[in-house]
Amino acid sequence: MNFAARNAWVTTIFDQPVHEDPNFYMQQEQIISFQHPDHDTEVWPQFPHTS
């Protein structure tokens, strides 16, 4: 591995803050994304839209 040719962000990637809220990741899982996937789908949107 050529240390001199590394990307600058690699040395700081693990310096990012850690979420201390135990519910944070559970809340993130509840988010429904309507972004179109990178593959063909049978039905779009994939999830039924509820108002």
Q: Residue 48: pLDDT band by 50, 70, 90 thresholds?
A: low
Assess contact for 32 and 45: CB atoms under 8 A: no
Structure tokens at 20: 């201390």
pTM of the model: 0.33
pLDDT of residue 39: 75
Cβ distance 47 to 32 under 8 Å? Answer: yes
CA distance 9 to 48: 39
The residue-averaged pLDDT of 8-28 equals 84
21 vs 42, residue with greater confidence: 21
CA neighbor of 46 nearest in space, from 38, 12, 16:
38
